[in-house]
Amino acid sequence: MSDLPRKAVTRTAKLAALPLGFAGRATWGLGKRIVGESAELVGRELQQRTAEQLFKVLGELKGGAMKFGQALSVFESALPEEVAGPYRAALTKLQEAAPPMPTRTVHAVLEERLGADWRELFEEFEDKPSAAASIGQVHRAVWHDGREVAVKVQYPGAGEALLSDLGQLSRFARLLGPLIPGMDIKPLISELKDRVSEELDYGLEAQAQQAHAEEFAGDPDVVVPAVIHQRDQVLVTEWIDGIPLSEVIADGSREQRDRAGQLLARFLFSGPVRTGLLHADPHPGNFRLLPGGPEGEDDWRLGVLDFGTVDRLPGGLPTPIGESLRMTLDGQAEAVYELLCEEGFVKESIELDPDAVLDYLLPIIEPAQVEEFTFTRSWMRNQAARIADPRSPAYQLGKRLNLPPAYLLIHRVTLSTIGVLCQLGSTVRLREELEEWLPGFVLEPEDVLDSDDVLDSEDEESAVEA
């Protein structure tokens, strides 16, 4: 029944051809330089050919290969501009579209999951998909009560394909590493594999989406479509129109870029506090700009889609994140280092210089140091280069830090969101969102009193000594 290329031999052959193709193009590039073409020209052409092959294969396979491509896509801001150019168009295609399932397959899945009379559930159903993603595609339809809906249909065999692809990709993760400087590809693939079962479960997705829809109902800034029906691998939700964030990135106005960035940051930090859940797939294809924000039709709201991957965080983001960020901004090197050790970011067998750790962190948290910050690709590239250059102290220190499992998904979501903000080029009042929503970032009154007591006792000791 499935038209997804999922036979192990076929999928393995397609993925295995990728590193061979990279090596072949490198040889081709060397040959062209030998016969006199400039290295810069050859390099640009080589990058373009590599991008075309990589993302063509990832898009065709869907499954884990495309999921990996989407995860990478938010980091293109970290690439040097002469390298990023050829990749950008191919990456954007992955964020919004993929080859669709044939109509006969879609109908067969709907009949199997919703019953032989599935058409009676809809007044209208568009056979041509409006969007396609790594494990399913979305069809626009009209529910039997007249509401416009989005019908998400999972590809048959998606789970098998997802695991197979990610397993293959992990085998040559080292070859893919240079795509994103400073990004360790293997843990990214491993973390994606850990989330497979959750993402395939549309029941869990429906619960997470409905929790957000209820919490954000009537919200002036964020719109989450309500869940209407869910059965096995079919999910029906309210339809929302809007401008995909990928289009805003490509040619949005300054007003749209700044508004989208502010609302994306607001949703990232407020969601866990308000719902106990963190939306963990923040690539541009999952967001829309909708007209009609607090200032009227000329203002914008953020539409949020796809809750297949979430992190469950009762009480919001972990308080140590806010505390360590606040103390870093205050220059409290010893306190930051002690907290990082307590949380497992520094292993017991390793000793680091607290001041060096502070110097490592300060450039990363620059957006929180000021009232508003403009995220740019050049800033992202500078950060990536600083951390990825083996000759730099930041690289040496970064290699000795540890990322505890509880923080792995939070870390990826934060990096991904920053990547999207840099693609947008947004000017964002990030500190405002941190003060409002990040536990531990603002000292509570009782904490201020405690610190005053400590200072008073220190003053008394000093007076006695004097």
Is the pLDDT confidence value at 18 over 60? no
Q: Write the CB contacts of 452 (distance below 8 Å, at least 6 apart in sequence).
A: none
Q: Exposure of 8 by Cβ count < 10 A (0-12 exposed, 13-18 middle, 19+ buried)?
A: exposed
Residues 291-315: tens digit of each pLDDT:
988 877 779 999 999 999 899 999 8
Q: What is the pLDDT of residue 426?
A: 97
Is residue 129 within 8 A of residue 151, CB to CB? The reply is: no
What are 236's strand-pairing partners?
151, 229
Q: What is the pLDDT of residue 83?
A: 55
Is the pLDDT confidence value at 59 over 70? no
Q: Write the CB contacts of 174 (distance below 8 Å, at least 6 apart in sequence).
A: 185, 186
What would the mean pLDDT of 111-133 be, rounded to a whole number? 93
Between 102 and 300, residue with greater pLDDT: 300
Q: What is the pLDDT of residue 20?
A: 42
Q: Retrieve residue 340's tokens.
A: 């990082």
Is the pLDDT confidence value at 211 over 50? yes
What would the mean pLDDT of 148-166 be, rounded to a whole number? 83
Q: Which of 305, 273, 283, 279 is closest to 439 using CA atoms?
A: 273
Q: Retrieve residue 172's tokens.
A: 């040559």
Is the pLDDT confidence value at 374 over 70? yes
Q: What is the pLDDT of residue 249?
A: 93
Q: Write the CB contacts of 339 (distance below 8 Å, at least 6 apart in sequence).
A: 320, 323, 324, 327
Q: What is the pLDDT of residue 415?
A: 87
Between 101 and 432, residue with greater pLDDT: 432
141 sits in which H/E element = strand 136-143
Is residue 92 within 8 A of residue 128, CB to CB? The reply is: no
Is the pLDDT confidence value at 187 over 90? no
Q: Exposure of 180 by Cβ count < 10 A (0-12 exposed, 13-18 middle, 19+ buried)?
A: buried
CB atoms within 10 A of CB 173: 16
Between 212 and 466, residue with greater pLDDT: 212
Q: Which of 279, 81, 97 is closest to 181 using CA atoms?
A: 81
Give the whole-number percent of the chain exceeding pLDDT 70.
Answer: 68
Mean pLDDT of the chain: 80
Is the pLDDT confidence value at 38 over 60? no
Q: How far is C-alpha 46 from the geometric centre of its chain's CA atoms? A: 27
Lowest mean pLDDT of 144-158, 186-200, 201-215, 330-344, name the range: 186-200
**How far is residue 446's CA from residue 448's CA, in Å, rounded to a whole number?**
5
Q: Which of 309, 6, 280 is closest to 155 using CA atoms?
A: 6
Residue 265: pLDDT band (50, 70, 90) is very high
Is the pLDDT confidence value at 272 over 80? yes
Q: What is the pLDDT of residue 292?
A: 86
**How far is residue 366's CA from residue 375's CA, in Å, rounded to a whole number?**
10
Q: How far is C-alpha 404 from the geometric centre of its chain's CA atoms? A: 19
**How far is residue 205's CA from residue 209's CA, in Å, rounded to a whole number?**
6
**How far is residue 272's CA from residue 310's CA, in Å, rounded to a whole number?**
10
Q: What is the pLDDT of residue 19?
A: 46
Is residue 6 within 8 A of residue 61, CB to CB? The reply is: no
Between 166 and 221, residue with greater pLDDT: 221
Q: What is the pLDDT of residue 384?
A: 81
Residue 247: phi and psi, rounded to 5, are -75, -35
Residue found by looking up tokens 């497992």 in the block: 344
What would the mean pLDDT of 57-69 be, rounded to a whole number? 58
Between 97 and 338, residue with greater pLDDT: 338
Is the pLDDT confidence value at 462 over 70? no
Most confident of 15-24, 31-40, 73-82, 242-251: 242-251
Q: Which of 204, 208, 409 is closest to 317 using CA atoms?
A: 409
